[in-house]
Chains A and B, each alone.
Chain A
Amino acid sequence: MLSKIIGSGLTRRTFLKSTAATALSAGLPGAALAAGETIKIGFLAPLTGPVAAWGKPGLDGCQIWAERVNAAGGIKLESGSHMVEFIGYDNEYDPAKARTGATKLIREDGVSFIMMLGGDTWPGVQPVADKTGMLFSTLLPSDLSPDTTTLIAPAEVHPIYNVTGVEWLAENKPELKTAVMCAQDDALGLPSVATYLAAFEAAGITMNEEPLLFDPATTDFAPVVTRLLSSSPDIVCLDTCYSDYVHPICEQLFQQGYEGQIISCTADFYDQIIAKTSKEFMEGFVFQFPDFDDPALNSDQINFEDPNGFFAEYNKRHPGEWGAVSWEYASIMDLWKAAAEKAGSADPEAVIAAMKEGGTGEHAFGDARWWGTELFGIDNALVGDWPVVVIENGKATIKGFKNIPDWYDKHGDLLVKHMKAYDQMWDQRG
């Protein structure tokens, strides 16, 4: 039956849209909140499965955020003060489950805003967003396109911020001239490959060979590392590999005798990598996600409230589980709360208008601007400074903040060139 429908010219996207439309046509929950009613926020991300490390720690962080906000009196709208509650839905990084989850969160739970990891799951959710006008957020701005008017990327501009690590490396270790790179062949890995290629080219660092792609199901990384090291590079770049890959790759680099520079988007649970290798091996490892006990986060430019206290509380509740996304969803909620209070309403349209008013916003790492038309076809990514983090004496340390738009103003053409080469521009993605 389904094949007959599809055979008659119905595309998968149209099928998804019509399914979502049917499911939602029974009527949407009203966005207006009664006085004292709890504001519900949807958390639609992988809570189990291989990508759970970029979902579950975020929900844990949000619970801490909600307790802090509720203890301070909640979110103050025109209808009065409202407590806030997160409703989690495990999409297992599956587009169909994400679509079901979005529908459930909107229709049954009456959420006012939905946060997602994005990536492979966004195409399943987009028809629901189109139909309902619900405000969604993603951690991956590569989900953005001119059609995604109610999707924002306010926490991170993955993978564009990776340019800051390379730029810092070129400034501080100019003797490093050659690099190699490996990445999983998926929606996270490829745009990051293009970004690192642009950053290396801008920094005058030569790639010894084409980036080495591997299947996301890979478990034995010895052949990958053997290949990477065969050209004796100065820098090994681990792209945006999941932590399940970063750990065994680092271990292999250590065991195969590599002693050079490593740069990576993330280094989640880096203490475990040190335990498997050595403190000396990991010294100087460059990545992009700080521990929030870093003194540099206490400076005036930082908009995330009490990062040190948040980090301490998180580690008390979830020891050893702090990762790249532990703070990100909470920082999105800071933005959402500020916008909702400014608008006096939790209505998605009012919130997004308030959030983007003036074209600037308070990003966790400093004031930033809504940006992205050239790369994403829409200015729905909040971009500003991003930290460069280096492991020193076994501890992640912020070495400085670098401005992403500044880099783009100088080298944007390179980024566009490499994004196009990997079919990662918004008008190239299927």
Chain B
Amino acid sequence: MAWRLRLAPEKTNIDFFKLQWITFGGSVVLMVLSFVAWGVMGLNYGIDFKGGTTLRTESATVIDTALYRSTLDGLNLGDVAINEVFDPSFRADQHVASIRLSAANGQDQIDNADMKRVSEALTAMDPALKIVSVETVGPKVSSELVWSSIIALAATSLGILAYIWLRFEWQFALGGVLALLHDVVITVGIFAVFQIKFDLTIVAALLTILGYSINDTVVVFDRLRENLMKYKTMPLKEVMNLSVNETLSRTLATSFTTLLAVGSMLAFGGDVIRGFSFAIFMGIILGTYSSVYVAKNLVLFLGLDRTDKPRASGKGADHEFANIDA
């Protein structure tokens, strides 16, 4: 037989429930910790959600943040934050800074006159400096964006819930969507712990995670549904293990190819989109994990009605041994 790269042996027989107090329990603990980090450390919100102005400057001169600060402090603006940006894709003489400004007290947002003073002061400080992007988000829009982000996340979750419910049983739908929330919550937790800038594109990434990571779960569920019909007497737990084992090499292969692609985006895509790529990267890892270790555990916990649908007069769900005479 020709050589083939294999991420998993041809036939596996792993008991995915064996260490469930560590795996499933670990997930629960991580989720709790994510909420704690979110609550205690807070997220490093970008101007999309907080309002304000960010500038991106580029210069051939090495950046002296203290000089930038003293230049801008003299302008009587609100808070000023200066960060130097590093990225392997930059040219040797490309020095990039990200500057966050807020308007002086009593003013909603930076206006044209403020912007003019800022750009004049910066070019006076360093004639080689160029402002390559400016973004201003007013307080009215930023508070709306918070709401529309929450609504978008909720709408996507509900849409997925409804679709899976339609195609499978409600237990699958609920289990799958709870596993998704697990992925999203932990990703947000990571953003809180590392204080990575959280803006609109990160919400877009979270939405993508919702859509992507249910993918693995659906494939497992699809196999589970098939096997449930095939092995009517096998205990639910075993059918689940069998289904996950059977789909394992596919799950790993898909996640791996996607990680390769997103990984190259993370490495070479530039700093503008790094947060977005990182969120998706984490989401894929978490999503793969949760479709193997979280989603089906939830379905098991919720229980499945394995009686045949036409025999509605049956005594109700007898999860493990229903339909013996089938």
The finding on whether chains A and B are genuine partners in a shared complex, rather than unrelated, reads: no
Chain A residues with CB under 8 Å of chain B are: none
Chain B residues with CB under 8 Å of chain A are: none
